[in-house]
Amino acid sequence: MTANGTSAATAPSTALPVDRRVDWVDYAKGICIVMVVMMHSVLGVELAAGQTGFMHAFVAFAKPFRMPDFFLISGLFLPLVIDRDWRIYLDRKVVHFAYFYVLWVTIQFGFKAPAFAADTGWSHAGYLYLESFIEPFGTLWFIYLLPIFFVVIKLTRGLPPALIWGVAALLEAAHVATGWTVIDEFCARLVYIYSGYLFADTVFALSNRARAYPALALAGLGLWALVNGSLVAFGYSEWPVVSLALGLAGAGAIIVFGTLLARMNWLNVLRFCGAHSIVIYLAFFLPMAATRTLLAVALLVAAFRGVPALAADATLTSLGVGLYDTVTGTTGGPVERARLDKRGTVYTELDMDTPLKASAIVLGAIKNRIQLLAACRPEGAGGNGSNSTNVLVWLQSVLPGVQKIVGQVDGAGISRDERQHLVLESDAEATDISSNGSNGSLS
């Protein structure tokens, strides 16, 4: 064992560190957990904003290897415990993660249940909670799958390793998409955790060579970054076989990078994140959601500060009509909606639910947010002495017009102009914006 924790041994079952942490492993996990949090934060904000930001390219660059590296490292130390009897093995590798899953699915659901209940009722919210023990909830699918992998690897010890690895590679290349997270992610990730288990000695040897020849390691990282970035940019990264090659190569690159950081003792914050990666992975959803909400509020206020009242009226009226068009469609039929899968890929699916119900849910959520914002920014805030109109209060008044459409129109037999007339009519009933705020600004 070197001073930086890199094993110099070739037999993983006997030489892997048992009673101390391997710092380059912590660095590698730290890099990955930062990329995972970055992915969820960036894609979530982009999906809400309807546009991409400058970090999108980096998130896309990391997609081929972000989770493969996590799974490969998860299998790296499995040779140390694989031969233990089932009682101890299940306690360490199944019960441990099952406890974390049950605890954190309950915590996460506690935060999200009120929103679910507001949309579909408490009985359905309870159903969603029970369903989370079959279909993993949110970001917790990683914790859900780990014990399944550990059990499968132990059960298949008697089979030829090359056969298991070959089947796992074929499953990854098949890009299975059943819609069930456990099945899809099991097929996509088995080859990586099994590679960590099967090639643990090779991985440690790679780390040793990177430590001994840092210049060569940096050159290799540069070449890898060029190839990975090019294949991502040209849209080849998710091709069968290519995705597997990029996943394994990227995992190796992160291991080399982590070893170099450990060698220089740089960026210890990454090492800390790696040592506590499970805690970060379980808990990051809360600060991420809070930050996203604050950003949305800030952007909304900034977008309309100083905008003439009539211009904002027209913009938001069009937004109200456009919202109805987007959610329900002009015929009331299925609507294409953007979704984000567990791998971070945005895809489109047809929403077969009742369009009017979907509209009511969206409008209800918007109205709740606006009421909260209006309470925080009372009408007239801004203090410029003119007849100013708060955009949040105005939008509260115009929403009943859109809701009136949702309640009375089934999406067929009414023109867009008629829908807009309903919105404007309701707006006129609620407040006379044109006469009172035409010379003011929205604060």
Position 301 pLDDT exceeds 60: no
Integer Cα distance of 2 and 207 in angstroms: 11
Judge whether 347 and 337 are in contact, CB under 8 Å.
no
* The pLDDT of residue 6: 41
Across 200-229, average pLDDT:
95
- What pLDDT band is residue 47 in, cutting at 50, 70 and 90? confident
337 phi, psi to nearest 5 deg:
-130, 140
Integer Cα distance of 136 and 140 in angstroms: 6
- Rounded to two decimals, what is the model's pTM? 0.67
Position 154 pLDDT exceeds 80: yes
Judge whether 288 and 41 are in contact, CB under 8 Å.
yes
CA dihedral (183, 141, 262, 247) in degrees, to 10, reads 30
As given in the structure block, the two tokens for residue 113 are 């249940």
Integer Cα distance of 220 and 217 in angstroms: 5
Integer Cα distance of 277 and 34 in angstroms: 9
- Share above pLDDT 90 across residues of the chain, in percent, rounded to a whole number: 42
- What pLDDT band is residue 368 in, cutting at 50, 70 and 90? low
DSSP, collapsed to helix, strand or coil, labels residue 5 as coil
- Residue from 32, 26, 172, 336 nearest 40 by CA: 32
CA distances from residue 316 to 42, 313, 334, 354, 373 in whole angstroms, order as listed? 26, 5, 25, 25, 16
Q: Is 252 exposed, middle or buried (0-12, 13-18, 19+ CB in 10 A)?
A: buried
* The pLDDT of residue 228: 96
* The pLDDT of residue 414: 46
- Share above pLDDT 70 across residues of the chain, in percent, rounded to a whole number: 60
Across 314-322, average pLDDT:
46
* The pLDDT of residue 220: 95
Integer Cα distance of 158 and 103 in angstroms: 34
Task: Please state, rounded to an integer, the average pLDDT across all residues of the chain.
Answer: 75
As given in the structure block, the two tokens for residue 385 are 């002495």
* The pLDDT of residue 191: 97
Tens of pLDDT, residue by residue over 103-152, are 999 988 888 888 788 777 888 888 889 999 999 988 899 999 999 999 99
* The pLDDT of residue 116: 80
Integer Cα distance of 347 and 369 in angstroms: 27
Tens of pLDDT, residue by residue over 159-193, are 999 999 999 999 999 999 998 999 999 999 999 99
